[in-house]
C-alpha cells in the first residue's frame, strides 16, 4: 500500500490546520472506548474517567493508587516505591555502549541547562525585587510500561537539579508484572534520583499532586504522557503547578531550493511514527522540491518500521504546501506555531532569527529534530497545539518561583504613601488606606 504525502494549496492547509485549533476534549479511539467500558462498566469520556480516578486517589491515597493501577493498567504493585537497589542493579546491567550514550546525553543536556543559571539572580533594586527560589519538591512523569523513554528522565530531571530543586520524585507506569522498565530505572540512577514510583496514568498524577500515605505531595508535575495523563494534569493545575499540556507530536519544515528532499522526508516520517494523531508538513517555494519530497516520503514511509502509524497519521495530518514565496511559508509556520520547526535549504536558513512562534527551531541539514530529542542539549519537552505562541521548552526557569520582596526606606514610604491612599480610596478600600495612614501618622510623630 502506497503511503502518500498530500500536496495542498495554502488555503487547503489552513483549513486542515483549523482541525487542531478546534480540538476540545480528547476523543477516545475504539480500543480506548472499549477499555473504558471494561474498567468503569460505563461509556465514560476520558475526562470523566480521570475525574473519578483523581477523586478516589485524593480520598483514599495508596489504596486507590494500587486499585487503579490494577484495574486500568493490569499491574499489581504491592510497594509503590521502587527499592533503591533495583535502580542500581538496572544501571549495572546496562550494556556499556548504551550506558555511555546515556552519560554523554546527560552531560550535554546538563551543560546546556547550566547556561540558564545566569538568569537566576535577584532582579530589582535594594527596596523592591524579585528573588529566585527553587521549588522544594517536583514530580517528573516518564511514560513507560512496555516501552521505555530514558531520554524523558534526563530531560525532566536535569533542569530541576540544575535549578536546585530539593527533592525529585519520578513516576513511571509498571509493566504487567508491576516493574518499572529497567531503562527508566537505570537512567534515574545515573542522574541521581532514588525516589521512583511504579505508577502511571491519572493515578500517578493524582498521587504526586495530592500526596498519599507513601508519596509526599509535590509543588509541580512535569513530563509528557498519554491523553489520561494530560487530562489529569489539566485537572490538578491550581492545586499544584504543571509544565504544560502535551499533545501529539508536530513538525513543520520550511524548505528552499537546495534542500534535500530525502532528508526532509526522513524528518517527517520520524515525527509521524510517534502517533496516529501526529502532524507533519513541509512549506516550500520550490515546486520541484515539493514533487521530489512526495516521492521520497512514499518510499521512506513504506519502509518504516512503524509504517502503519505513519500511514494513518499522514492520511490525516500531513502535507506538502507549495507557497508563492518563503515569506508566505514562514507566515504559515508562524500561524501553526509548531512544536518543532526545521529550516532546510540555504534561503530557508536565513529565516532562523526571524522565527517567533515555534517550540524548538532546527536549522540546517546537520540539525535533525531527532538529535534534539536525545542529545543536542535543549529540552525535548516542548509546547504543542499552538502553545509555542506563549511558551518555549521546559527549562531551569520552570523549576524556580519568583516571590517579590519589598523593604522600603522611610523616604520611599513618604513619597509613595499619598499615592497609594488616593488609589485605595478610589477603589473603596478604606481599610487599605487606613493601614497606610497610621504609618504616616507614626512617622510624623516620631520626626
Residues recognised as catalytic: 339-340
Per-residue H/E/C for the chain? CCCCCEEECHHHHHHHHHHHHCCCCCCCCHHHHHHHHHHHCCCCCHHHHHHHHHHHHHHHCHHHHHHHHHHHHCCCCCCCECCHHHHHHHHHCCCHHHHHHHHHHHHHHHHHHHHHHHHCCCEECCCEEECCEECCEEEEECCCCCCCCHHHHHHHHHHHHHHCCCEEEEECCCCCCCCCCHHHHHHHHHCCCCCEECCCHHHHHHHHHHCCCCCCCCCEEECCCCHHHHHHHHHHECCEEECCCCCCCEEEEEECCCCCHHHHHHHHHHHHCCCCCCEEEEEECCHHHHHHHHHHHHHHHHHCCCHHHHHHHHHHHEEEEECCCHHHHHHHHHHHCCCEEEEECHHHHCCHHHCCCCCEEEECCCCCHHHHHHCCCCCCCCCCCCHHHCCCCCCHHHHEECCEEECCCHHHHHHHHHHHHHHHHHCCCHHHHHHHHHHHHHHHHHC
Q: How far is CA 352 from the centre of its chain?
A: 23
Take residue 421 and report the three cell numbers written for it: 491612599
Give the torsion sign (CA, 103, 104, 108, 109). negative
In whole angstroms, give the CA distance from residue 186 to residue 77.
19
Q: How far is CA 323 from the centre of its chain?
A: 31
Q: Are 266 and 371 contacting, i.e. CB atoms less than 8 angstroms apart?
A: no
Q: Are strands 6-8 and 318-322 parallel, antiparallel or unpaired?
A: parallel
Q: How far is CA 293 from the centre of its chain?
A: 30
Q: How far is CA 236 from CA 54, 210, 391, in A?
A: 9, 9, 20
Amino acid at each position: 500500500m502506497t503511503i502518500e504525502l498530500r500536496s495542498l494549496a495554502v488555503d487547503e492547509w489552513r483549513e486542515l490546520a483549523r482541525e487542531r485549533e478546534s480540538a476540545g476534549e480528547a476523543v477516545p479511539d475504539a480500543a480506548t472506548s472499549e477499555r473504558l467500558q471494561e474498567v468503569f462498566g460505563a461509556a465514560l469520556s476520558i475526562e470523566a474517567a480521570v475525574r473519578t480516578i483523581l477523586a478516589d486517589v485524593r480520598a483514599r491515597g495508596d489504596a486507590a493508587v494500587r486499585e487503579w493501577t490494577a484495574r486500568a493498567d493490569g499491574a499489581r504493585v504491592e510497594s509503590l516505591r521502587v527499592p533503591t537497589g533495583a535502580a542500581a542493579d538496572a544501571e549495572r546491567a546496562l550494556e556499556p555502549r548504551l550506558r555511555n550514550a546515556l552519560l554523554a546525553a546527560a552531560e550535554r543536556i546538563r551543560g546546556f541547562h547550566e547556561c540558564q543559571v545566569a538568569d537566576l539572580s535577584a532582579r530589582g533594586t535594594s527596596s523592591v525585587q524579585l528573588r529566585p527560589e527553587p521549588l522544594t519538591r517536583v514530580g517528573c512523569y516518564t511514560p513507560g510500561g512496555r516501552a521505555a523513554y530514558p531520554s524523558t528522565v534526563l530531560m525532566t530531571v536535569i533542569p530541576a537539579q540544575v535549578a536546585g530543586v530539593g527533592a525529585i520524585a519520578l513516576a513511571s507506569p509498571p509493566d504487567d508484572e508491576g516493574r518499572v522498565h529497567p531503562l527508566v530505572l537505570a537512567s534515574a540512577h545515573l542522574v541521581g534520583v532514588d525516589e521512583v514510583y511504579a505508577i502511571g496514568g491519572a493515578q500517578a498524577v493524582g498521587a504526586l499532586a495530592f500526596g498519599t500515605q507513601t508519596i509526599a505531595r509535590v509543588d509541580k508535575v512535569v513530563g509528557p504522557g498519554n491523553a489520561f495523563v494530560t487530562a489529569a494534569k489539566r485537572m490538578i493545575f491550581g492545586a499544584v503547578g504543571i509544565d504544560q499540556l502535551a499533545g501529539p507530536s508536530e513538525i513543520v519544515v520550511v524548505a528552499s531550493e537546495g534542500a534535500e528532499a530525502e532528508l526532509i522526508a526522513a524528518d517527517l516520517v520520524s515525527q509521524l511514527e510517534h502517533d496516529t494523531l501526529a502532524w507533519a508538513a513541509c512549506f516550500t517555494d520550490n515546486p520541484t522540491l515539493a514533487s521530489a519530497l512526495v516521492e521520497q516520503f512514499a518510499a521512506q514511509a513504506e519502509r518504516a518500521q512503524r509504517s502503519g502509524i505513519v500511514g494513518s497519521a499522514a492520511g490525516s495530518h500531513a502535507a506538502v504546501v507549495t507557497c508563492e514565496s518563503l515569506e508566505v511559508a514562514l507566515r504559515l509556520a508562524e500561524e501553526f506555531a509548531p512544536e518543532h520547526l526545521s529550516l532546510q535549504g540555504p534561503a530557508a536558513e536565513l529565516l532562523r532569527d526571524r522565527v517567533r512562534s515555534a517550540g524548538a527551531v532546527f536549522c540546517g541539514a546537520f540539525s535533525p529534530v531527532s538529535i534534539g530529542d536525545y542529545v543536542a542539549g535543549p529540552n525535548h519537552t516542548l509546547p504543542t497545539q499552538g502553545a509555542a505562541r506563549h511558551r518555549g521548552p521546559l527549562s531551569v526557569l520552570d523549576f524556580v518561583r519568583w516571590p517579590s520582596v519589598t523593604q522600603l526606606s522611610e523616604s520611599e514610604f513618604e513619597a509613595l504613601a499619598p499615592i497609594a491612599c488616593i488609589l485605595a480610596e478610589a477603589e473603596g478600600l478604606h481599610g487599605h488606606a487606613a493601614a497606610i495612614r497610621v504609618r504616616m501618622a507614626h512617622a510624623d510623630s516620631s520626626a
